[in-house]
Amino acid sequence: MSKKINRIVFATQKGGVGKSTMATMLASYMYFRQNHQVVVIDADHPQHSIKKLRNREMESLKEDEDQQRAFMKSGREQVYPIANSKMVDVFQRPSPDQPSTYEKASLPAIGADTIIIDTPGSVAIEGLGTILENVDHVIVPLEPEEMSLISSSEFLAALSRMKAVKERGVKPIAFWNKVRQGSHQELIDVQNEVFRAAGIHVLENHVPYSVKMKRNETRSTIFPVNFSAIDLNDFMNELYSVVQ
Ligand SMILES: Nc1ncnc2c1ncn2[C@@H]1O[C@H](COP(=O)(O)OP(=O)(O)OP(=O)(O)O)[C@@H](O)[C@H]1O
Ligand SMILES: [Mg+2]
């Protein structure tokens, strides 16, 4: 019997809120810190920003012996796979004789126990419904900014109403990203009450706004992310505790 694979998706119709960034962070945390066999499905077609980052990192790894030595010390012998996919192909077969991206990623030879899916920042994307019907966890980043919140709230409300999500007991997980110290607290408190009353699990810890994250200095798909350097240890521990 095949073992159960934990299927996690980062989704929201709002663009630029941190789906790809935090999908990469969670992949790093689960792969390097918790020793999971992670596969990332980059379904943000045609941008594929995570896969492009991997390609750039592999190029520079090939040319740099210091990096190769550092990689050997990371504790893992290989990099986790990243599969590009169109949204519609993640769980659906492109044709009866072609496997879906998920089917390929869950082959025994790959040995995945966790599949993390990144999606584009638009709700009008064909295939999102099927993805939401097939995952164990839906993670929704929120920005503490009024206009951004309107569209995120719509998405969360639609998600909580979805029969396929409710019936399988999937509770949407939301978290606050780009939080500047000392600001937004009132907005966050008020919104948290609304979201929690609607059955959404809002994480207690926030992701602070960080220049290092803005510059993508901390994002890596081949090296363990230094979560202490961006003050993310507590956040990652909490996120992991709800999705593991
Ligand atoms: N906590 C943070 N502090 C500062 N910048 C951040 C933070 N999180 C994300 N960013 C920046 O915000 C931008 C958008 O992030 P990201 O690409 O992860 O969003 P997204 O939701 O995947 O966007 P899209 O919908 O376009 O795919 C990036 O430049 C990223 O570096
Ligand atoms: Mg993205």
Cβ atoms within 10 A of the Cβ of 122, count? 13
Closest-CA residue, ligand 1 atom 5, reads: 214
Q: Is the CB of 231 under 6 A from ligand 1?
A: no
What order of strands is seen across the sheet that includes strand 114-118?
82-84, 38-42, 114-118, 6-10, 137-142, 173-176, 201-202
Q: Which atom of ligand 1 is nearest to the CA of 17?
A: 21
Instruction: Note the pLDDT tens digit of each residue in 150-187.
Output: 999 999 999 988 888 888 989 999 999 999 988 899 99
Secondary structure (3-state) at 65: helix
Q: Which of 21, 44, 177 most suits a substitution to test ligand 1, by most atoms within 8 Å of the C-beta?
A: 21
What is the residue extent of each domain of the chain?
6-215+225-243
Compute CA 90 distance to the chain's CA centroid, rounded to the nearest angstrom: 15
- Measured N-to-C along each axis, helices 65-72 and 49-63 cross at an angle, to the nearest 10 degrees, of 110
Q: Which of 119, 214, 227, 231 most suits a substitution to test ligand 1, by most atoms within 8 Å of the C-beta?
A: 214
Instruction: Note the pLDDT tens digit of each residue in 131-155.
Output: 999 999 999 999 999 999 999 999 9
Closest-CA residue, ligand 1 atom 23, reads: 16
Closest-CA residue, ligand 1 atom 28, reads: 214
Instruction: Note the pLDDT tens digit of each residue in 203-230.
Output: 999 999 999 999 888 899 999 999 999 9
Domain 6-215+225-243 is found in CATH 3.90.550.10: no
Distance 38 CA to ligand 2 centre (A): 18
Q: Is the CB of 177 under 6 A from ligand 1?
A: yes
Question: CA nearest 100: which of 87, 110, 112?
Answer: 87
Residue whose tokens read 């009866």: 96
Instruction: Note the pLDDT tens digit of each residue in 42-78.
Output: 999 999 999 999 999 999 999 999 999 988 888 888 9
Q: Is the CB of 17 under 6 A from ligand 1?
A: yes
Q: Is the CB of 151 under 6 A from ligand 1?
A: no
* Amino acid letter, 211: V
